[in-house]
Chains A and B, each alone.
Chain A
Amino acid sequence: MSALPSYATTGQRIWHYSFRVICGLIFFFLIAPIVVIIPLSFNAENFFTFTPEMLSLDPAGFSTKHYQDFFTSSDWQLALRNSLKIAPVATFLSVSLGTLAAIGLSQSHVPFRRSIMAILISPMIVPLIISATGMYFFYSNPYIPTPFGRIDLPFTLTGTYWGVVLAHAALGIPFVIITVTATLVGFDQSLTRAAANMGANPVTTFFKVQMPLILPGVVSGGLFAFITSFDEVVVVLFVGSAGQKTLPWQMFTGLREQISPTILAVATILIAVSVVLLIVVEVLRRRSEKLRGVSPT
C-alpha cells in the first residue's frame, strides 16, 4: 500500500486511514497479549491484573519475587534442567539425520520422492494428540512386526529419557527437512562437480563446498527443531513420566491446577528466548539468501 496520492477523494482518504487503524488493531491483537505478560510478571502481589500501584508506576507495586521463586524452586529448576537435557539431543538427532536425507532428496533421480517426502513431513501434520496416543501405546510395549507374529522387545520407552528424546526428534524432523531442502533448491550442483573435478572426494566436497553453503538452512532448521522440542508438551505428557517433567509440562500443570504468578515470570523469560531465536533466524535467512545469490525480499 503506497502513500496516498494527492488527488485522492475524501472517501479514499477515509478508507486509507481507517484501513491503517484496522491493521493497527490487528497488530495490537497479535502483540498485546505477549507484551502484557511482561509488566504483569513484575507484580508485587499474587494477582494477574494490574494493581492500582502498578498503574500509578509506584515502585512499591513492582518486585522480582516471582523470578526469585523460579530460580529457587526445585520443581521449576528440575523442569528447566530436563528441558535443556532433552531438546539439544533431540535436535542433534533430527538435524544430523534430516540433513543427510534432505541432501539425498535433492538429487535429481530419487524414486518415490513424493511419497518419501509425504512420510517425512507427516509428523508436522498429524495432530500431536494422535502422535502422542500412538507413541504412548507403542513405546510402552515396543515390538517388531514380522509375518510370523510380533516379537516383543524386552524394554519399554515410556517414562524414560530416551523415549521422550526419540519422540521429540521425530517431531522436529519435518522442520529440518523443509528448511534444508529449501536451501538446497538454489544450490548450484556444478559447484560439487567443480570440486570433484579438482580432485576432492565426496566427503571433502560435502564438508568444504556444500556444507558451508547450506549451513544457514541447517542451523535454522535446527532452531525450529529445538523450539519444537523445547515447547512441546502433549507428547511429553503421554510418553514421559514425572522424571522427564519439562518446562512446558510444569507450566501446563500449573495453569491447569493452581495457577501461580511464577508462570508469568517463566513466560517472560521464554519471550526473551524467542526474541533471540527470531533475530538469529532472520539473520541466518538473510545470510543464506546472500550466499546463494537470491535477491533479498
Chain B
Amino acid sequence: MTLVLAADGRPLKASLNRALRRQKLRALMLIAPLLIFILVSFVMPIADMLFRSVENEIVVETLPRTVATLDGWDSDSGQAPDEDVFTALYFDMVLATEYKTHTRLGSRLNYEMTGISSLFRKSGRGVGRFDTDTYTDAFQAADPAYADPAQWAAWMADDTVRAALPMTANTYDAWAKMIIEAEEDVPVEEVPWDFVFTSLYLEVIEGAEPPVALNLSGVPLVNLRDQFADVDEDWLDPEVWQTIKIYSPEYTNGYFLNSVDRFKGVEGAEVRPENEQIYITLFIRTMIMSGSIMGMCVLLGYPIAWLLANLPARKANLLMILVLLPFWTSLLVRTSAWKVLLQQQGVINDTLVWYHSTWFGQLLDPVFMGLLNICYAFVNVITWVWNVLNGIWGGTDGLYLDWAAAGFERLALINNQTGTVIAMTHILLPFMILPLFSVMKTIPISYLRAAKSLGATNWTAFWRVYFPQSVPGIGAGCILVFILSIGYYITPELVGGTKGVFISNRIAYHISSSLNWGLAAALGTILLVIVMGLYWMYDKIVGIDNVKLGG
C-alpha cells in the first residue's frame, strides 16, 4: 500500500490531522476570551457562593487560642470549661476587641444560639476593665525594666527568653501585630498591655524563668473565669461553650442543616422545634406555587399555541404580536401593572363591584352559586389533598368562591399567593407559548383530518393523534417556566406580601437584612442544585442548542 502524499510531500493523513488541529485551535482561540470573561464574572462568583455555604473560618480566626484549648473540654460534662480556656478566651477577646471582630463573631454565633451577640458585645466592653492590671503594676513596681517598651522588644527578640516563656512570646507577638495593624503604632514605643503581663505572670508562677528575676508571691491570682462571669453570667452556661465548640471547625454543614430546619447539636443533626421550622415549608410552597404557575401556563398557553400554529400565516403573525409584546415589555412594567390592577381600590376590584351592582351581575349570581356548590362537592371529595395543600398554600379557594364569601365586596388579590400566581402566570406565559408553538408548527393538521376520516370523534382525534405529538412542546415549556419561576424574586417581592413569597425572597432577606450570608449561600446552593437538575433534564429533552428566542 502506498502512502498518499499531500502537495508538500507529507503523508496526507498527517497533513489532514495538522489542519484539523489548527482549526480546533483557531475555534478555541475565538471562544477563549468569552470563556475567560464568563469564568471570571459569573462562574467564580457562583463558586464563591458555594464555598461560603460551608465556610466557617470566623470562629477559629477570631478565637484561635480558645478553640485550641477547648479541645480538652468535655462538652457533655454539663460544666463550663476551666480556667485555662478562660485565659485563652481573655487573650483572644482583648485582641478581637481591638480588631473589632468580636461583634462579627457574636452575630455569627447568634444565628446558632440567640443571645451570644450581646454576650460578645458586653464582654468586648468589659474585657479592658479586668483586674489583671494588678499584674502589670506588680511587675513594673518590682523592676522598671518591665515598663520599658524597648527592653520588652529586646527580650522578645532573644531566642533564649522566647524558649523560656513560649506563651508570653506568643501573646507579645500577637500584641505587637495588633499594635501595628489596628492601632497603627510602633511596638518598640509602647508598653505591652495587661494581657501580656498576665501571660508572663502565669508562666512565672508555673516556674518559668522571667527575664529579670522578681518575687511574685505577694501578687494574688486573678481568676479570669470569675472575671468573665462578672461581665455576664452566660459565660458559665455550658450551652454557650457547646455552641462555640460545635462551630469551631473551619468548615461546617451547619448552614445546610439550618436550611432544612435542622441544627447542629452535640449529638449531630437535630430537628428544630415545630414553631421554628420555616424553610422546608418554604421550599415546598415555592415548588407548589411554581407548579401552579406552570399548570396555569399550560392551560392558557395550549389553546393560544394551537390557534397560532393552525391559523393562516398572515393572521398568525398579527396575533403573535400580542404574545411578543408582553414578552418584550419590561418585567417591572408588567409587575407594576398587576400591582395597580389587583389593589383593593384597583381596577379589577372596581370592575367587580360595578359588575355586581348591575342587573346582569345580580342575575348571574344564582347561576354561579349553583356552580359553586358543585365545586364544593368536588372539594369535599378531595378534602385530604386539600388539607395537605392548605397548610402550605395558606388556603385560597377559587376566586369566585372568595368573592362570594366576601359578600361580593372587594377581594384581597394582592399580597398573597393569588397575586403572585396571577402576575407570574402573565409574565411567564410567553415562555410557554413560544416553545409550544414551535413544536405545534411541525405537526401536520392533515393527521387530524386523516384520523377523523377513519371514524375518530373530534376528541379522540385530538387526544390520540394531535396531543401526543405536542407533548415535547409541553415538556419544554413546562421545564422552562418551572425553572424561571422557581427562582423569581422581583414579582413575589412586590405582589406576594408575606405568604406569596418564594425561597429567593428569603435569600435576599438573609443577604440584605439579617446578614446571615452563610445561610443565604446554603439556601442558594440548594436552589441552584434543583435548577441545575431541571436544566440537565431540559438539555436531555430539548437540547440547549434548540433554545429559541422570540419564536
Contact = CB atoms under 8 A, between A and B. Distances in A.
Q: Do A and B bind each other?
A: yes
Interface of A: 1-2, 12, 15, 19, 22-23, 26-27, 29-31, 33-34, 36-37, 40, 47-50, 93, 97-98, 100-101, 103-105, 107-111, 116-131, 133-139, 145, 166-167, 169-170, 173, 175, 178-179, 181-182, 220, 224, 227, 230-231, 233-234, 238, 248, 251-252, 255-256, 259, 263-264, 267, 270-271, 274-275, 277-278, 281-282, 285, 296-297
Contacts of B549: 175, 178-179, 224
Contacts of B547: 121, 124, 178
Contact of A137 (B38, B521, B528, B531): B521
Nearest to A182: B548
Given A37-B337, A138-B48, A238-B511, A167 B326 contact: no
Given A131-B45, A231-B332, A267-B333, A169 B37 contact: yes
Nearest to B311: A1
B34 A274 contact: no
7 contacts: A30-B430, A36-B337, A101-B34, A110-B27, A130-B504, A137-B517, A255-B335
A129 B38 CA distance: 17
B458 A33 contact: no
B34 A97 contact: yes
Given A109-B23, A137-B52, A120 B28 contact: no
Contact of A170 (B29, B41, B511): B41
Contacts of A230: 330
B288 interface: no
B385 interface: no
B179 interface: no
A126 B330 contact: no
Shortest beta-carbon contacts, A-B, top 7 = A127-B487, A104-B30, A134-B45, A138-B45, A101-B34, A134-B49, A129-B504
Majority secondary structure, A binding face: helix
B44 interface: yes
Given A34-B325, A40-B340, A133-B511, A49 B34 contact: no
Given A130-B527, A133-B507, A182-B548, A256 B494 contact: yes
A261 to B, nearest CB: 9
Interface stretch (B200-208, B239-247, B299-307, B468-476): B299-307
B30 A33 contact: no
Interface stretch (B69-77, B98-106, B341-349): B341-349
B343 A12 contact: no
B30 A251 contact: no
A92 B533 CA distance: 32
Nearest to B44: A138
- Most chain A CB within a 10 A radius of its CB, from B313, B430, B531: B531
Interface in B285-302: 300
Contacts of A107: 23, 26-27, 30
Contacts of B330: 227, 230-231, 248, 267, 270-271, 274
Nearest to B520: A133
A23 B487 contact: no
Q: Is the interface of B mostly helix, strand, loop or mixed?
A: helix
B231 interface: no
Interface stretch (B115-123, B155-163, B316-324): B316-324
Contact of B345 (A26, A27, A49, A256): A49
B332 A233 contact: yes
B535 interface: yes
A133 B524 contact: yes
A275 B328 CA distance: 8
B41 A120 contact: no
Contacts of B490: 233-234, 252
Contact of B487 (A36, A130, A182, A259): A130
Contacts of A170: 37-38, 41-42
A274 B329 contact: yes
Contacts of B193: none
Interface string B31-65: 10111011101111111110010000000000000
A173 B34 contact: yes
Contact of A37 (B307, B333, B426): B333
Contacts of A234: 489-490
Contacts of B313: 296-297
Contact of A48 (B345, B493, B531, B544): B345
Contact of A108 (B23, B37, B493): B23
Contacts of B45: 131, 134-135, 137-139
Contact of A126 (B24, B28, B528): B528
Nearest to A11: B458
B508 interface: yes
Contacts of B335: 255
B339 interface: yes
A22 B6 CA distance: 68
B343 to A, nearest CB: 6
Contact of A100 (B34, B339, B483, B493): B34
Contacts of A238: 511-512
Nearest to B350: A49
B338 interface: yes
Contacts of A12: 458
Most chain B C-beta atoms within 10 Å of own C-beta, residue among A110, A117, A122, A129: A129
Nearest to B445: A2
B325 A125 contact: no
Contacts of A179: 549
A43 to B, nearest CB: 11
B442 to A, nearest CB: 11
A125 B49 CA distance: 17
A127 to B, nearest CB: 2
B334 interface: yes
A110 B31 contact: yes
Given A40-B340, A107-B30, 4 more contacts: A98-B34, A101-B33, A127-B487, A139-B45
A233 B332 CA distance: 9
Contacts of A128: 487, 489
B333 A109 contact: no
A166 B41 contact: yes
B200 to A, nearest CB: 34
Contacts of B29: 104
B176 to A, nearest CB: 23
B516 interface: no
Please indicate which of the listed interface residues B49, B321, B322, B517 has the most CB atoms of chain A within 10 Å of its own CB: B49
Contacts of B340: 36-37, 40, 48-49, 264
A36 B341 contact: yes
A127 B489 CA distance: 9
B37 A33 contact: no
Interface string B219-251: 000000000000000000000000000000000
